[in-house]
């Protein structure tokens, strides 16, 4: 095909559909693509974020999406980052200004394990699998895991300094708590036990890890 024909074909592929809709700027189109990818990830998991699926969600051709988002690996990574960072922001807000650290831990465990965040759990679970062949995603996953560990470590350390928790290694305890939360939430995807049973199981374990009296988190 002659070069002029190639240019014409490419222009036709990326030209926004007609029908009276306003032409979006490049930034607006990228925001639209990112929002579509996030919706797909929340509704169906990260594995659903494909070029064709995003194009269908936006209502444009695949070539237009590829023009504005040439790397689907980056699109998937961005969707993961947006979803997981929003959840951590929710938990930071729950922690902010609360001096009752036992109450904070109790609220965190219930919030994360009550079964209302299965969309985020699926995103996490798939991120570990997909990250093995998507380095852009893997970098975001590692960074978010570090951010979550740091957040939990801060709570554990504050409690230890204040004499509320009895722990020797706040970082190790935080990493263990995060791993257990991730594991139980992954189990929830296949309905292993009900939410209250998972919360009780986790709370009992965390009481021992933080050196709390039995029942301080579980109320039993």
pLDDT, tens digit, 9 for 90 and up, residues 47-76:
999 999 999 999 999 999 999 999 999 999
Whether 9 and 93 map to the same domain: the answer is no
- pLDDT for residue 21: 61
Q: Which of 19, 38, 70 is the last residue of a domain?
A: 70
Low-confidence ranges of the chain (pLDDT < 70): 1-22
Whole-number mean pLDDT of the chain?
A: 91
Residue range of the domain that includes 48? 3-70
State the CATH number of the domain containing residue 50: 1.10.10
The reply to whether 214 falls in a domain is no
Neighbours of 166 (CB within 10 A): 11
Does 65 share its domain with 123?
Answer: no
Question: pTM score, two decimals?
Answer: 0.86
Q: Are residues 89 and 54 in the same domain?
A: no
The most distant pair of C-alpha atoms in the chain lies apart, rounded to whole Å, by 78
The dihedral sign for the CA sequence 115, 142, 149, 79: negative
């Amino acid at each position: 095909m002659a070069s002029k024909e190639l240019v014409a074909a490419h222009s036709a592929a990326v030209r926004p559909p007609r029908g009276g809709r306003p032409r979006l700027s490049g930034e607006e189109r990228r925001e639209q693509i990112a929002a579509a990818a996030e919706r797909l990830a929340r509704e169906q998991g990260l594995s659903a974020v494909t070029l064709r699926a995003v194009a269908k969600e936006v209502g444009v051709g695949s070539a237009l999406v590829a023009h504005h988002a040439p790397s689907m690996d980056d699109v998937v990574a961005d969707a993961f980052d947006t979803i997981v960072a929003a959840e951590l922001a929710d938990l930071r807000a729950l922690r902010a200004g609360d001096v009752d650290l036992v109450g904070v831990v109790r609220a965190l465990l219930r919030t994360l394990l009550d079964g209302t965040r299965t969309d985020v759990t699926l995103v996490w679970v798939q991120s570990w699998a997909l990250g093995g062949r998507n380095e852009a995603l893997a970098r975001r996953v590692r960074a978010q895991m570090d951010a979550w560990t740091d957040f939990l470590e801060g709570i554990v350390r504050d409690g230890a300094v204040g004499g509320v928790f009895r722990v020797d290694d706040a970082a190790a305890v935080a990493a263990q708590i995060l791993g257990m939360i991730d594991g139980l939430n992954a189990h929830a995807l296949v309905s292993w036990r009900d939410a209250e049973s998972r919360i009780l199981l986790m709370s009992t374990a965390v009481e021992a890890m933080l050196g709390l009296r039995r029942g301080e988190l579980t109320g039993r």
